[in-house]
């Protein structure tokens, strides 16, 4: 007997790309595309019905010497101390502009996912995210999010667990 789920809505192209990248990594959950915004961490927490700290912000920096992209995956309640990240990276860094974010991740600010980027990114993972049973992150658009465990995020992002705040 065949079974179909015709009620499942179609994801937008960017969210579908993230869904496919996640499933290639072994994810078995869903990307949820909301009618309302998940552009900010607070909006994402409101949509997910979780604590702000459980939202994973995917912040892009640029190594000023190397020009490479640096990804900091940080809890929604934390503000990243750029000096710490520069020390880990071994070079001065700057906040990426929207064009650089799109060039290195393939996604626009507000929807940058923690994995599935178009270029490899040196990645630091906020140790504060590890305290939660599950966390949420952006999935390609300012309306799309997905839930995963901190262990999955660590494995799939190859992030170095650090104090980032
Ligand atoms: N969808 C939400 C929750 S998962 C989200 O993507 N949040 S975020 O924190 O990962 O991405 C938004 C971040 O992009 C902001 O915290 C800010 O650091 C950065 N940002 C916003 N506007 C700009 C801008 N004009 N230039 C550079 N960075 C920006």
**What is the per-residue pLDDT across 28-43, written as a single tens digit (0 to 9) for each?**
999 999 999 999 999 9
Confidence of residue 8 (pLDDT cuts 50, 70, 90): low
Kind and range of the H or E run holding 161: strand 160-162
Q: Is pLDDT above 90 for 7?
A: no
Confidence of residue 90 (pLDDT cuts 50, 70, 90): very high
Task: Check if the beta carbon of residue 15 is closer than 8 Å to that of residue 22.
Answer: no
Ligand 1 site residues (CB inside 6 A) read 38-41, 44, 55, 57-59, 95-98, 109-112, 137-138, 142
Number of structural domains (the chain) is 1
Q: How many whole angstroms from 110 Cα to the centroid of ligand 1?
A: 5
As a whole number of angstroms, the distance between CA 112 and CA 115 comes to 9
Q: Which residue owns the Cα nearest ligand 1 atom 8?
A: 57
Residue 144 belongs to domain with CATH number: 3.90.960.10
Domain residues for the domain of 113 are 2-162
Q: Is pLDDT above 80 for 9?
A: no
* pLDDT value of position 150: 98
- If you average pLDDT over residues 118-145, what whole number do you get? 98
As a whole number of angstroms, the distance between CA 86 and CA 80 comes to 11
């Amino acid at each position: 007997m065949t079974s179909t789920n015709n009620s499942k809505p179609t994801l937008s192209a960017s969210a579908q790309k993230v869904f496919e990248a996640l499933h290639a990594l072994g994810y078995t959950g869903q990307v949820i595309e909301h009618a309302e915004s998940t552009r900010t961490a607070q909006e994402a927490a409101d949509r997910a019905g979780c604590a702000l700290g459980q939202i994973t912000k995917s912040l892009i920096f640029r190594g000023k010497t190397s020009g490479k992209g640096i990804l900091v995956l940080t809890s929604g309640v934390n503000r990243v101390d750029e000096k710490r990240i520069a020390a880990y990276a071994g070079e001065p860094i700057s906040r990426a502009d929207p064009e650089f974010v799109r060039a290195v991740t393939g996604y626009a600010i507000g929807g940058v996912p923690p994995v599935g980027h178009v270029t490899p990114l040196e990645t630091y993972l906020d140790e504060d995210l590890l305290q939660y049973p599950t966390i949420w992150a952006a999935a390609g658009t300012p309306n799309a999010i997905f839930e995963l465990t901190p262990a999955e995020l660590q494995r799939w992002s190859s992030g170095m667990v650090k104090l980032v705040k």
